[in-house]
A and B are shown apart, each in its own frame.
Chain A
């Protein structure tokens, strides 16, 4: 079966750093994504990892360990606009690039 776990909610302070963890168990693996979704809006792509290691993109970084079925999204220099849901998603190795999503982590950034 397919299972993606991430914390339901997190709270952090403006200017701080926050790490959102994700663990997954899927029938195969063809890459892991992080998407951001503001309330009432569509998800937007943040990052993609297919090899182990850290991918950095501005204030956002994403890490992957395939052997552990583990990823995290690191947000630095938090801003109020970063308050959103962060969705961890995996493409199982079905050859179809179908993407399976976790339930999302709702991040609240406080002043």
Chain B
């Protein structure tokens, strides 16, 4: 396993279009996270999954954003009716957290999908 992979790496779209990003986590990891990062800022939490269950979603995430992890493996993040303010780097991360384990929750990030909305 070579780590977390994301696709596409870059996406340029026109305002109002829909975009979808895919993330393939490290295979043995049970948790998957989506973050958004803009220039000069730290990653901003969007949502996360434990296996296929979406356990938390940021209040900052509008109804235009939806994420799925249908079989507890890869995940998709869809943005509908994109706006210029959606332009950012969308980072996916995975971690392994076991019940009563000594795991720290260290995140392993993918290279990100950069979205530009014109």
Residues in A lying within 8 Å of B, measured CB to CB:
4, 30-31, 33, 35, 41-45, 48, 50, 87, 89, 91, 94, 96-104
Contact = CB atoms under 8 A, between A and B. Distances in A.
A45 B26 CA distance: 15
Contact of B45 (A35, A42, A98): A98
A43 B104 contact: no
B106 A43 contact: no
Interface in B44-71: 44-45, 48, 55-56
A42 B42 contact: no
Given A42-B112, A98-B48, A98-B56, A89 B106 contact: no
A69 to B, nearest CB: 17
A45 B56 CA distance: 23
21 contacts: A4-B42, A31-B104, A35-B107, A42-B91, A42-B111, A42-B112, A43-B43, A43-B107, A48-B106, A87-B43, A89-B42, A94-B56, A96-B48, A97-B105, A98-B33, A98-B48, A98-B56, A99-B45, A103-B42, A104-B40, A104-B42
